[in-house]
Structure 1
Amino acid sequence: MTQAPKIAFVGAGSTVFAKNLLGDILSFPELAGADIRLFDINQQRLDVTEQVTWRVAQAVGAKPTVVNTTDRARALDGADFVINMIQVGGYEPATVTDFEVPKKYGLRQTIADTLGIGGIMRGLRTIPVLAEMSRDMERLCPGTLHLNYVNPMAMNVWGLARLSPRIATVGLCHSVQGTAAELAHDLGLPVEEIDYLCAGINHMAFYLKFEHRGEDLYPRLLEIAESGRAPEWNRVRYEMLRRLGYFVTESSEHFSEYTPYFIKRDRPDLIERFGVPLDEYPRRCVSQIGGWEELRARLQDPNEPLEVKPSVEYGSLIVHSVMTGQPRVVYGNVMNSPQGGSGKLISNLPDECCVEVPCLVDRQGIQPTRIGRIPPQLAALMATNINVQALTVEALLTGNREHIYHAAMLDPHTSAELDLDQIWALTDDLLRAHGDFIPQGLQAAD
């Protein structure tokens, strides 16, 4: 009999995401008796998630133990797994600030949570909180496996590797498996019949192989791109396929702001031609916030059917494989030169960066796959993003505020739109607007 795992959900007030992961985890018979610890700083949202947890358990016939707490130490104490899904600063004021301040300079964004000036600011306010939490893990659950779902993914994993290397952390995203399903749909094929190999950095990994029963599917994908049949919402990625020869994992709205090619304030024709959804993330947030009360009522209503179906997230698969020994391959975000390893996972990317690669998971935990060299044009494009990540992490590690400005000046989208004086002034304005969300020493100069 597999021992019931102790699983801490950090940021459990993200009720819908927690519900999906709980449904996945509790649906495994070996995990049905899991010790679930729900932690959040918002007691009201936490109470809703607890009610939903019991409803999920009932729906799948599970009998977990559940703790609802605003005491982080209580949630982490002895945890085998820590699933992290926090958002430091929330939609208001932090996300609103990340969008509205740059607009004053004519700098428009779509998601702003991974790279760009918005991603830099999110990294500055998030990594210190994750590091503080990780130090708690070192004290309370040193053998835990930390499953991080928090963006900016690469910066966060990189920062934790430097600030808290004793805690095993893997960053998890759904872009690899999600995009594979999208491409399978475009080709009219069942995704479960697709064989692929993917590697790169989070939100900028590329399918090095994409096949169906031994047939290379890239000629068919290129035909879609060349014929103009790409879905309207996915034109950016199909255009990049034409230019690079490989398809990228993250969505077109994300990818459009990782490069200097698609969002230009003096080229509205580009925005229209490629269907770039400016201010997309705030729109989603406003919609979710507006619909929360109705959704909450449905989730809590015992007379309202609660649908529990498998999600595409890797979290439950990792927990199950570590607990039972059943081997699986997932895509994880880890450091390019793993501790105790020899050589790099992706040989033509820097030693010290976070990469997204296939990983074997079993009782031994996360075991990344060594990829070797990737096509040089892909490595070169990734380097433009890695530079920004590196400087943001360096600013936090050294307390050198100048590196924040350096990160902004090297960001592909920001530097394509603004001159150096504007970049410095914008960075000052954002640091000032975020106030105490930014660590002391990096806050705006008086």
Structure 2
Amino acid sequence: MSLKVVIIGGGSSYTPEIIEGFIKRHRYFPVSAITLVDIEAGKEKLEIVGQFARRMIRKSGVPIELEWTLNRQEALIDADFVTTQIRVGGLSAREKDERIPLSHGAIGQETNGAGGIFKALRTIPVLMEICHDIQKICPNAWLINFTNPAGIVTEALLKYSPHKKVIGVCNIPFNMKNSVAEMMNCPANDIQIEFVGMNHFVFGKRVWMRGNEVTGQVLQKLIHQEGDYSPANIVSLGWSKEFLQALGMLPNPYHQYYFQGAAVLEKDLQAYRENGTRAEVVRKVEKELFIQYRKEELNEKPKELENRGGAYYSDAACSLMESIHNNAGDIQTVNTMNNGSIPDLPNDAVIEVNSVITRDGPQPLTVGPLPASVKGIIQQMKAFEELVIRAARSGKYTHVYQAMVMNPLVQNEGVARQLVDELLEAHREFLPQFN
């Protein structure tokens, strides 16, 4: 039986990670064809990644045919799974998302705050077009979205695109699970975490090790800084004893932006002065990665890819596809419709939640009411995300301003107006709905 995967954004430096994932899982997820797709601006990188991926497959000996193209519609023919890992505007757009907010004393993170808003505004219309193509050409295919801000993008697609077989994935829950396993000195499969919240704003409500609850033990290790699950793109500041005890749950690395905002801003400004924005750091990492990828003798994923910040990406994406294909019924953490899992949020809100994975997609497990300590801020974050989606679809200045001023990392009407004006101008080329 043929099994085809299409990777949109195939010229990404992350692609070797997912190729490795397909190779490792080939016995249970027998992909027979992979097509990498990119745009004209990414043609050179697509060729480099494509040649490297072929060398990886050839070394492994698995029977996968790999091609690459700039023709998205042609690539989608007969696809069973489609993954998206795009960056509209490239790293130069990310640099503006980071630099402009920092110039106004606001956090300039690419998926949170002002930067995250504008990444969503650029991305949602493009993913909408992709979903229209999928629905027309391969309507039975599952779209696995890894494009950030993953939760906002996934909700926009599930609510407003014609294609409903959409699931969002993120490596943060994987990072947290694997890092907790390291803290507890056990295999990752021995750890289960009950997650509650949304993408980049998810909490580990309870933790089990081999069926026994160990939430308190893990919190103690975090209090004593015996573990850290921050990805390469977020430097951990650690958490105070008082905060962790009051919270009673595991925060995720992105919570630093909301609960340690002043310290994060100071750190980001210092890093900007010394090394430039994170986008500039990533540009240097990518330059080195593509030097490696060009080497004809290289036929396995280089260690340096871990510096890119996408650790466990292939595990999250490939495990999901494998479980859908095999109707596995296992539990994974994904971004999907709430459907009553959290009664304090709308049923059609997208949340990041443990779900049973079947051939019909994720079935979210019931979480129950939000813990009192985080109920208000999670509801505020969801309302903010809805404002971003509305702005991306309408192209109205008032709507994007509302989203900006209600963002917990901005919440200053004067600064919000300056950020909206400057970011709309900076990203004019990639925001046709606002022109």
Band the TM-score falls in, shorter-chain normalisation: 0.7 to 0.9
Q: 1:276: how far off?
A: 9.7
Distance, in Å, in 1 between the alignment partners of 2:103 and 2:364 is 43
The amino acid that maps onto 2:365 is T
Task: Report the count of equivalent residues.
Answer: 415
Are 1:306 and 2:297 matched, yes or no?
A: no
Counterparts of 1:351 and 1:319, CA distance in 2: 24
- Counterpart in the other structure of 2:326: 324
Alignment match, 2:36: 38
Gaps of 5+ in 2: 304-310
C-alpha displacement of 1:237:
5.0
Q: Does 1:242 align with 2:245?
A: yes
After TM superposition, the structure 1 stretch with the greater mean CA deviation from structure 2, 372-381 or 137-146, is 372-381
1:351 partner SS: coil
Q: 2:388 aligns with which of 363, 382, 392?
A: 392
Question: What is aligned with 1:138?
Answer: 135
Q: CA distance change for structure 1 residues 197 and 120 in 2, over 3 Å: closer, same or farther?
A: same
1:364 counterpart residue number: 360
Instruction: For 1:32-431, list aligned pairs within 5 A.
Output: 32-41=30-39, 42-92=42-92, 94-109=93-108, 112-227=109-224, 233-237=235-239, 240-249=243-252, 251=253, 254-257=254-257, 259=258, 261-264=259-262, 271=266, 281-298=278-295, 301-302=296-297, 304=298, 306-307=300-301, 311=312, 313-337=315-339, 344-415=340-411, 419-431=412-424
TM-score by length of 2: 0.87
Residue aligned with 1:177, SS: helix
Q: Deviations over 1:2-35 (max 9, x none)?
A: x2211111000014x2212122223322544512
Any idea what SS the aligned residue of 2:315 has? coil
Contact 2:3 2:80 in 1 (8 A): yes
Letter of the 1:246 counterpart: M
Q: Distance in 1 between the 2:432 and 2:223 partners?
A: 48
User: SS at the partner of 1:196?
Assistant: strand
Q: CA 1:4–1:321 in 2, change beyond 3 Å: closer, same or farther?
A: farther
In structure 1, distance between residues paired with 2:331 and 2:81: 18
Q: In the superposition, relative to structure 1, how do residues 75 and 350 fare at CA in structure 2: closer, same or farther (>3 Å)?
A: same
Q: Is the CA contact 2:344–2:370 (under 8 Å) kept in the aligned structure 1?
A: yes
Give the direction of change, closer, same or farther, for the CA distance of 1:54–1:238 in structure 2 (3 Å limit): farther
Cα distance, 1:79 vs. partner?
A: 1.0
Give TM-score, length-normalised by structure 1.
Answer: 0.85
Q: State how far apart, in whole Å, the 1-side matches of 2:338 and 2:31 are.
A: 36
> Identity across aligned pairs (percent)?
24
C-alpha spacing 1:294/1:138, structure 2 compared with 1 (3 Å): same
Q: Closer, same or farther in 2 for the Cα pair 1:33/1:128, shift >3 Å?
A: closer
Give the deviation of 1:236 after TM superposition. Answer: 4.4
Distance 1:65 1:190, change over 3 A: closer
Instruction: Check conservation: 1:256, 1:276, Cα contact below 8 A.
Output: no
Q: Do the aligned partners of residues 54 and 405 (structure 1) sit closer, same or farther apart at CA in structure 2, a change above 3 Å counting?
A: same
What is the aligned-residue RMSD (CA, Å)?
2.8
- Distance between the aligned counterparts of 1:429 and 1:308, measured in 2? 38
Bigger mean CA offset, 141-150 vs 225-234: 225-234
**Runs of 5+ unmatched residues, structure 1:** 338-343
The 8 Å contact of residues 236 and 255 in structure 1, kept in 2 or not, is answered as: no
